[in-house]
Amino acid sequence: MSLDLGLNQRYLFPCPLCGQGLDVRETKKKKPYVVCDPCGLQLFVRNETGMGRLEQLVSDAEQRDIWARLEELQQQYQKKCPECGHKFWISPDRIKTSWVDGRFVGYRCPERGCQGVAAWDQDEK
C-alpha cells in the first residue's frame, strides 16, 4: 500500500500534547511520521493499519473531525487576549496559523477590531 502523501499537499496532524498542527513527513522507507519540536514528540507509524488510519485522519473531512475532537478535549480551556484582556473560549475557527509556514500560533480574539492572538502556551494569570 502506498500513501499518497504528495509534496504538493500539506497534511497536518494535531500534536496530542499541545494541539499544534504538525506536518506529516515521510521517512526514507516511506513511513509517515510527525514531529513536534516544542514537545520533543516524535510519532512514527510503522504498519499498514496505522498508515491507513493516519491517511484517513489527515484527509480533509477527517481533519475537521480531529479539530472537533480536539475542541471537546480543550473546551474547558479559556484564553485571555493579550491585547484587550477579553477572555474567550478557544474553538477551531479561532485558530490562527502563521502565513509564513502554516504553523499554529494561537487563538484569535473574538472582540471586533481586536487583532490580539492568545498563544496556546501563554501563561495563565
What does the binding site for Zn ion look like in residue numbers (CB under 5 A)? 15, 17-18, 36, 39, 81, 83-84, 86, 109, 111, 114, 116
Dump the DSSP string for the chain.
------TTS--EEE-TTT--EEE-EE-TTS-EEEEETTTTEEEE--SHHHHHHHHHHHSHHHHHHHHHHHHHHHTT-EEE-TTT--EEE--GGGEEE-TTT--EEEEE--STT---EEETTPPP-
Q: At its nearest, how many Å lie between Zn ion and the CB of residue 56?
A: 21
Q: Of 3 and 36, which CB lies nearer to Zn ion in the complex structure? A: 36
Q: Of 4 and 121, which CB lies nearer to Zn ion in the complex structure? A: 121
Give me 114's grid cell: 481586536
Q: Of 17 and 119, which CB lies nearer to Zn ion in the complex structure? A: 17
Q: Of 29 and 112, which CB lies nearer to Zn ion in the complex structure? A: 112
Q: At its nearest, how many Å lie between Zn ion and the CB of residue 68?
A: 19
Q: At its nearest, how many Å lie between Zn ion and the CB of residue 92?
A: 17
Q: At its nearest, how many Å lie between Zn ion and the CB of residue 82?
A: 8
